[in-house]
Amino acid sequence: MRITMIGSGYVGLVSGACFADFGHHVVCVDKDEAKVEALLAGRMPIYEPGLEALVARNVEESRLSFTTDLAASVPGADAIFIAVGTPTRRGTGHADLTYVYAATRELAEHLDGHTVVVTKSTVPVGTGDEVERILGEVRPEGGFSVASNPEFLREGAAIQDFKHPDRIVVGVEDERARTVMAEIYRPLHLNQGPLMFTRRRTAELIKYAANAFLATKITFINEMADLCEQVGADVQDVARGIGLDKRIGPKFLNAGPGYGGSCFPKDTLALVKTARDAGAPTRIVETVVEVNDARKRAMADKVIAACGGSVEGKRIAVLGVTFKPNTDDMRDAPSLVILPALQAAGAEVHAHDPEGTEQARPLLPGVVFHEGPYDCLEGADALVIITEWERFRALDLERIRGTMAGHVVVDLRNIYRGERMGELGFAYTSVGR
């Protein structure tokens, strides 16, 4: 199959490279010239484990290419995937579909032969109908189908997720689209990847329902963590105790500083808006959004309390600023709320992140970034762990105790054991224990 991927960000680039690895011929298009230039030179514009080798192999074998030229990439394609951003529209909470519709208009001009246009971006229910309407305006003679194929990959494990998905959801309104999509995903289907066909609107909603459910699960355990702190229970045991129930499952039950990232915050908001507009408000999700926002702010208060009620003039060392480990993505990361709140309370904030520094620096003015965890911790009054990168799990604690000026540790990911930290002389605070 010949596939054109419009948008070569986290989703477009990973999906494009994986489709090429299945044996399809893929052109990844992006309007960001610097991004395409980097890709053409073999440099990855994002940090994603395994991506560089996957891209290099498929470029080498002539199945994957990159361009800024959308017009030249459309003719001859069996399927054109739209994988552009759908951020929150400023001030409203709705998903901003400007990029999706702009890409649709651009590609419509150059369609030839029957082509399936697929929205891979996360888009609200009914977006496929509007994409179809725009294409029909430019090409009243038809010659296209519109499908929805939401993406469920997780940054940091994106290639594994794409190649071994729990399910592939495809929303179609006609047989031609169904046949082309089945052929594109045939290699995964052979691998037992369950391919699920639905109507287009249903596929669009499945993505939001999935993200809202996961955000709810995280928020639920975070509230349980607060309760555990008040009643002397341990949230990790509570999570295990409920997670072993197969109806609940163990994943997404790690208490922490609140969910962030490029998807949950904007997708929960967009679902709330869609539901309100449709006259069927999702009150649970509305509450999840509120509770999660408040939680990020509360984490700064937790640090201040652990420091004895004030961080004025104190040096706080933060390990991990990305919204989760194994990514450089800073979108809606809890650190973007916690660090400025500590600065506003008078702290001097130092930070280290294994991959996120470049993205984080412009978003966190005044924060001093360090190359490694140990130089970040030198002379610090307190250590705050915000992102649970593997390499923070086995820090040399004796060494740290020697270099820090104070001994306060606030572990917002529960990666250390309180008893051990106490034995080593740290004043240790975790979440929900």
Q: Which residues bind ligand NAD (CB under 6 A)?
A: 6-12, 29-32, 35, 70, 83-86, 99, 102-103, 106, 121-122, 151, 153, 155, 262-263
Concatenating the DSSP letter of every residue in 178-213 gives: HHHHHHHTHHHHHTT--EEEE-HHHHHHHHHHHHHH
**Minimum distance from residue 409 beta carbon to ligand NAD (Å):** 30
**Minimum distance from residue 301 beta carbon to ligand NAD (Å):** 30
Nearer to ligand NAD, 101 or 197 (CB): 101
**Minimum distance from residue 26 beta carbon to ligand NAD (Å):** 14
**Minimum distance from residue 86 beta carbon to ligand NAD (Å):** 4
Q: What are the phi and psi torsion angles at 351 (to 5°)?
A: -145, 155
Name the burial class of residue 10, with classes exposed (0-12), middle (13-18) and buried (19+) by CB atoms within 10 angstroms of its CB.
buried
Please say whether the beta carbons of 97 and 266 come within 8 A.
no
Nearer to ligand NAD, 88 or 403 (CB): 88
| ∠ CA 183-186-191, rounded to 5° | 175
Please say whether the beta carbons of 171 and 23 come within 8 A.
no
**Minimum distance from residue 263 beta carbon to ligand NAD (Å):** 5
Q: How far apart are CA 257 and CA 111, in angstroms?
A: 47
Alpha-carbon Rg for the chain, nearest whole angstrom, is 23
Nearer to ligand NAD, 12 or 432 (CB): 12
Any catalytic annotation for residue 228?
Answer: no
Nearer to ligand NAD, 81 or 428 (CB): 81
Nearer to ligand NAD, 329 or 381 (CB): 329
Nearer to ligand NAD, 84 or 318 (CB): 84
List 28, 228, 263, 307, catalytic entry: 263
6 CB-near residues (< 8 Å, 6+ apart): 12, 29, 30, 70, 80, 81, 82, 83, 84, 103, 107
3 state SS of 27: strand
427-429, strands of its sheet edge to edge: 368-369, 348-352, 315-319, 382-385, 408-411, 427-429
**Minimum distance from residue 359 beta carbon to ligand NAD (Å):** 11
Q: What is the enclosing helix (H) or strand (E) of 214?
A: helix 200-231
How long a stretch of residues is the chain?
Answer: 433
Please say whether the beta carbons of 112 and 75 come within 8 A.
yes
Closest CB to ligand NAD: residue number:
9
For tokens 């609107």, the residue is: 201
By annotation, the residues acting in catalysis are 263
